[in-house]
């Protein structure tokens, strides 16, 4: 896929020691800033700098439709995907509010919406559909191998473009009716879990529909024998174009030593795929929040991920990334601006 070299292979032990000492000898008890210290350490390591900075922060929203919506697994009709893309472009969604608040560049990608956007002209819109939605994976594979690879490569290309514009911290969000079903199916297949352990309420479906979603997932896993399949086959069979593009975008970001900011359940399923494709990938990630989607905690636990926030959110769109971003900035601010014990003339602990 993409050749990723772990950051610790590119920095000297002396740098790592100096960085840890810089964090430890700020005017605070050891470890007292918790996760902020971990974020600061990771960012500094990726940038190979004792004074790291975030430049041109970006969030990419990948939108696509899913044929499995035909099975009645979502509360909303598929046309909502198209409508929400237009809402993003008109600046009316939650992610617009949050990204504007924190001066985050927002890009919207048509990865495969069941709509024609050829007439839409917008500086922040990337119209690159692989197809008008995936196939219904209850009946056949969601996409062909060629489509899956095309989506992965397009995601990588989009990340590369952001990098060339000076971005070194990038968030991934999504929009797509029924995409929680695809995300849950990916999780179920890779982690060898039952559908009921992975299927949640998504857009707010009732318990009967959750059970239907779990049944659709279990039947697909059995039909295609996905518990014994390789990761790319799983993505191709039950995934979505937006998930595949996120996989490519995340892997390319890691290859470029960008900090990868992961949103909620669907984005985390893409991160799971990326982590299966490259063992070093998770070193480049920061999971921004724990979604209210019932399987997200289990998914995070499997990846040994500690999210920054738990606000009961389950919106998607990259909203968790945007809300968490100021905490990331705070992590770098303490590292770069906080006095050390020696600078401030404060006595250190005897321990």
Could you tell me which residues are beta bridge partners of residue 59? 106, 171
**Nearest 10 degrees: CA dihedral of 145, 149, 154, 159?**
140
- Write out the two tokens for 268: 């985390």
Cα–Cα distance, 175 to 179 (Å, whole number): 8
Instruction: Indicate the DSSP class of residue 339.
Output: P
**Residue 206: Cβ-neighbour burial (10 angstroms; 0-12, 13-18, 19+):** exposed
Is residue 317 flagged as an active site residue? yes
Per the CB < 8 A criterion, the answer to whether 203 and 264 are in contact is no
Cα–Cα distance, 146 to 143 (Å, whole number): 8
Element containing residue 35 per DSSP (H, E) = helix 35-47
Instruction: Indicate the DSSP class of residue 340.
Output: B
Per the CB < 8 A criterion, the answer to whether 172 and 265 are in contact is no
Q: Which of 82, 293, 317, 348 is catalytic?
A: 317
Active site residues: 317
């Amino acid at each position: 896929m993409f050749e990723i070299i772990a950051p610790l292979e590119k920095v000297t032990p002396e740098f790592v020691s100096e960085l840890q000492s810089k964090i430890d000898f700020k005017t605070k008890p050891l470890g007292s800033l918790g996760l902020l210290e971990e974020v600061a350490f990771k960012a500094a390591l990726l940038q190979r700098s004792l004074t790291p900075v975030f430049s041109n922060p970006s969030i990419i929203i990948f939108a696509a439709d899913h044929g499995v919506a035909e099975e009645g697994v979502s509360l909303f009709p598929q046309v909502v995907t198209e409508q929400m893309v237009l809402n993003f472009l008109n600046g009316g969604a939650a992610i617009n509010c949050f990204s504007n608040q924190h001066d985050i560049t927002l890009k919207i990608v048509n990865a495969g919406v069941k709509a024609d956007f050829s007439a839409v002209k917008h500086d922040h819109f990337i119209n690159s559909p692989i197809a008008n939605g995936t196939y219904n994976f209850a009946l056949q594979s969601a996409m062909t191998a060629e489509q899956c690879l095309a989506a992965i490569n397009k995601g990588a290309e989009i990340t590369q473009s952001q990098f060339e514009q000076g971005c070194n911290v990038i968030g991934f969000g999504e929009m797509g009716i029924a995409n929680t079903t695809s995300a849950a199916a990916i999780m179920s297949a890779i982690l060898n879990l039952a559908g009921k352990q992975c299927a949640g309420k998504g857009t707010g479906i009732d318990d009967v529909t959750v059970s239907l979603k779990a049944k659709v997932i279990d039947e697909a896993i059995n039909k295609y024998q996905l518990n014994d399949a390789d990761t790319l086959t799983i993505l191709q069979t039950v995934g979505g174009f937006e998930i595949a593009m996120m996989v490519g975008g995340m892997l390319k970001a890691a290859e470029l030593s960008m900090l990868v900011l992961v949103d909620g359940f669907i984005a985390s399923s893409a991160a799971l795929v990326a982590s299966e494709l490259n063992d070093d990938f998770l070193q480049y990630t920061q999971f921004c929040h724990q979604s209210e989607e019932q399987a997200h905690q289990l998914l995070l636990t499997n990846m040994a991920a500690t999210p920054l926030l738990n606000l009961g959110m389950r919106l998607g769109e990259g909203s968790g990334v945007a809300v968490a971003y100021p905490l990331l900035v705070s992590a770098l601010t303490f590292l770069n601006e906080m006095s050390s014990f020696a600078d401030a003339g404060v006595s250190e602990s005897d321990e």
